């Protein structure tokens, strides 16, 4: 007879996909210790579903230009839809900009975008409106994700 577990206390075994109580250290079915809290997974899934593209924490050289002048800075994270930067200069939401993004030699991308948010605690978020060589960035993103997976392992 199985018992009902509240989802806040439920763990999902990453090996056999059994669900068990958080108080159990190991999965009762396969004795694996690889598990993920179900409630946390639901929070992460909801957050991921709000985004069109996965963000990757990456520091890349960034040159931005617009009515504000020219800024040399770096990204804090990057996705196929945009990037975040903590340049210390808060540009107002809606600010149009152009620039160059340099991941590594010879990966340089021309971009156009607009500021979607600017907060002192989170920096500036920019959504791409134009990105030349998006396919090259997509393949570069796959490479970065593979590197990130190796670090986590």
Q: What is the pLDDT of residue 134?
A: 58
* pTM for the full predicted model: 0.56
The pLDDT tens digits for 34-84 are: 777 776 666 665 555 566 666 777 788 899 999 999 999 998 888 878 888
Please give the Cα distance from 28 to 46 (Å, whole number): 28
Q: Classify domain 61-152 at the CATH superfamily level.
A: predicted glycosyltransferase like domains (2.40.10.220)
pLDDT digits (tens, 9 = 90+) for 105-133: 557 788 899 999 888 877 899 988 876 66
Look at residue 82 in the predicted model and tell me its pLDDT: 86
* DSSP codes of every residue in 40-91: HHHHHHHHHHH-SS--B----EEEEEETTEEEEEEEEEE-SSEEEE--S--P
Q: Domain boundaries in the chain? A: 7-50, 61-152
| CB-count burial class (<10 Å; 0-12, 13-18, 19+) for 103 | buried
């Amino acid at each position: 007879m199985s018992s009902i577990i509240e989802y806040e206390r439920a763990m999902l075994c990453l090996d056999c996909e059994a669900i068990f109580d958080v108080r159990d250290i190991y999965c009762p079915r396969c004795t694996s210790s690889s598990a993920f809290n179900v409630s946390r997974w639901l929070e992460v899934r909801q957050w991921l579903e709000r985004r069109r593209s996965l963000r990757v924490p990456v520091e890349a050289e960034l040159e931005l230009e617009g009515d504000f002048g020219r800024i040399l800075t770096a990204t804090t994270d990057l996705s196929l839809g945009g990037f975040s930067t903590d340049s210390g200069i808060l540009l107002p939401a809606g600010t149009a900009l152009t620039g160059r993004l340099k991941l590594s030699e010879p990966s340089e991308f021309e971009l156009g975008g607009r500021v979607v948010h600017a907060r002192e605690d989170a920096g500036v978020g920019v959504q791409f409106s134009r990105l030349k060589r998006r396919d090259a960035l997509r393949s570069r993103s796959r490479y970065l994700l593979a590197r990130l997976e190796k670090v986590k392992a």
